[in-house]
Structure formats: C-alpha cells, structure tokens
Amino acid sequence: MQETIGHSTTGDLVINVGPQHPATHGVLHLVIHLQGETITKVEPHLGYIHRSIEKMCESLTYRQFIYVTSRMDYLSAHINNLACALCVEKGLGVEIPERAQVIRVLMSELTRIASHELWWGAMAMDLGAFTPFFHAFRERESINDIMEETCGARLTMNYMVPGGVMMDLHPNFQKRVKDFLQLYKSKIDEYDEMVTGNIIFQNRMKGVGYLSKEDAISFGCSGPTARASGVSCDVRKWYPYEIYSKLDFEEVIETGGDSLARYMVRIREMKESIRIVEQLIDAIPEGPFQAKTKAVLKLPKGEFYQQVETARGELGVYIVSEGGTTPYRIKFRSPGFSNLSALETMVKGSKIGDLVAAMGTLDLVIPDIDR
C-alpha cells in the first residue's frame, strides 16, 4: 500500500493511500484527512482504470457488447452478462426456454458463492489473518473448475447469450456441483471457527464503519452493504427475473449497520445460494438451452432497462435503441459506485486503523466503479 503524507490548509494531516496495483483491490486512490489518528475526511479519486466501456458498447452489436461487461465486476461476470442478455431479450420480446433459465440461475448463484468466497478470504487477510485466504480459494477453485468445464473459462466466461446460454451443460456438471455442495457444507464451520468467532476479528468489526438505514438509502446503496443496514433491496425478490419467483430462499437482512453486519450478510447469503443450487441441481428440465434468434439482432426503437442482483448489489442496464444493430446509448448502473460514495459517512470520526475494516466490507471491485 503506497502512502504519501502532506498537510492541508486546515492543519489536517493528509495521507494518500493508493493507487494500488490492479492485482490487489484495484486501482483506488484515497485522500485521507486526519486529526491525529482520527479521520476527518475521505476523498476517493477514480479514473486510473477508466476504459470508456459504455462508449465502447455503442459501437458493438447486441451480441458483442454483452461480454465487455465481464471486465467490469469481473467477480460477477456471469451475472453482468445475464443483465445485458435480459435487457436485449426484453427489447426483442424473446421467450427463454425453461432449461436455459435454470442454467442461468445455477451459474449466477455459483458465481455469487465464488465472489463471496474471495471476499471472505481477502477480508480476513486485510485484518491480518492470512490462513483463511487459502481456505477460501480451496472452495472457490472447485467452482472455477465447474465453470471451466462447461464454459471454457474460469473468470470471464462469455456464456450468457440473447435467448439462453452459449452451449449446453457439460455431462459432469450435476455431479461436480453436488460434490462441491458436499465439500462446502463440510468446510463452512471452519469459517466461523477461524474468523467469525475470533474475538480479535469481532473487536475489529463491531461498531466500526456504521451506516444507518437512512444514509444507505440516501446514497443509493444496494446489495449486502444496504441489507446490513436493514434495507430490503434484493432485486431477486423485488423484481424477480428468470425463475427466482419460484424458488424458496430468504432475503438476508441485518440491522446492525456496522462492518460485522455486512460480514454476516455475505456469510448468510452464501448459505442461501447453496439452498437455491440444491433446489435446482436435480430439477434441470430437458429441452433447448437457447431460443431461436436471428444472427443479426436489431432492437426496436425505444428505451429498455433491466436490473439484476450481482454479488455486490443492483446492476442496471439501460439501452436506448434507434432501431439499428448497435445501441444508440448505453448506461450501466453499477452497485460499487453508490456503495463507495458512502465510505466517508461510514468512517468519518473513526480511527485510521478502522478504515481497512470498513472499506473491506464494501467488497469493492474498482473496474465496476471506474468503467
């Protein structure tokens, strides 16, 4: 972590944290104002990894632009692609085969688990616990192997297409998913033993980075960040897509509003995702995995919007079509940008040592913010 130190005109000590290398938590630059060790102001500076993704999408076809979004929140690549595919399908009025819908939900929930696994390992490491990082990667590796076998890739899968999925499931898919479920259930208690129940970890998290329900709503927070402050905002419940309305799972809500509450939401969400996968893995219907669509897609003139629940919160895809083969305008409403905007409110008045704990529970993926 790079730091430079200076003084502001008010006499505050100014510390520049970052920008770090993209291989860490992403290229985020924080300008932190301190009175002693107490934070008085935090300014996030973005732009280090800006790629003009929305403008790029306007020169790509309705099949091509979907996969650019894999490079935003790369830990929710499947779900990002799904949001784009659903938005295009909404414009085309295409009916998706049930088999494709089930496959999409299975892939989305496995993606959510894999993302939360990585967050859990990195969160613990941020606070000084190195061992959980390896445990998290052990389970996440099983999911990556499943993805690779069916999709041909492990991170940016390019599997969702308008009308369904790129190809059918690998014959080993069901067996490998069941093996993962058995592995995960045998290891989940280790998470609580190593991290959740650790008194040092709890002391670093309790009461740290408090965000009230009102502030969470005001900043437009979503996902675990908002639900940890008591905000009911799960898109899968409020605006169900695919087959989520038919599934039995709970929207995980905590009311503590602190870092520990945000931690617990994600831990519980992994268990709910397991419930969803268990309901579907033996109930994958037969039939086509993709609806028939034209080789060249043209959306009718108009405006189309679709939101989904990624691992970090609500992702919205807004398309303006002029009736051509490429979007006239595209806008992505990413969850990380709104969640990051609440950081100063969360940590103002706290000690500098609490910043990492609070920021870690936002689960930031910078390319999702800095598009």
**In the prediction, which pLDDT does 143 show?**
92
**In the prediction, which pLDDT does 273 show?**
94
Closest CA to 76 of 273, 337, 313: 313
Chain centroid to Cα 290, Å, comes to: 26
Helix, strand and coil in the chain, % to nearest 5? 50, 15, 40
- 10-residue mean pLDDT profile of the chain (371 residues): values are 54 81 68 92 87 90 90 89 94 93 95 93 87 89 92 88 93 94 85 87 91 95 94 94 93 93 94 94 93 90 95 94 92 92 92 89 88 79
Distance (Å, whole) CA 298 – CA 310 = 27
Q: Identify residue 62 by its one-letter amino acid code.
A: Y
**In the prediction, which pLDDT does 2 show?**
45
Are 74 and 153 in contact by the 8 Å Cβ rule? The answer is: no
Q: Which CATH superfamily is domain 51-369 in?
A: Cytochrome-c3 Hydrogenase, chain B (1.10.645.10)
Distance (Å, whole) CA 86 – CA 161 = 9
**In the prediction, which pLDDT does 144 show?**
92
> Residue 264 — φ and ψ, nearest 5°?
-65, -35
**In the prediction, which pLDDT does 275 show?**
94
Closest CA to 234 of 137, 225, 358, 140: 225
Distance (Å, whole) CA 365 – CA 315 = 13
Distance (Å, whole) CA 341 – CA 257 = 16
**H helix intervals, the chain:** 53-57, 77-92, 98-126, 131-151, 173-191, 199-205, 213-218, 223-227, 235-238, 259-281, 335-341, 343-347, 355-360, 366-369
Q: What pTM did the predictor assign?
A: 0.92
Are 125 and 106 in contact by the 8 Å Cβ rule? The answer is: no
19: preceding bond cis by omega (within 30 degrees): yes
Distance (Å, whole) CA 126 – CA 198 = 15
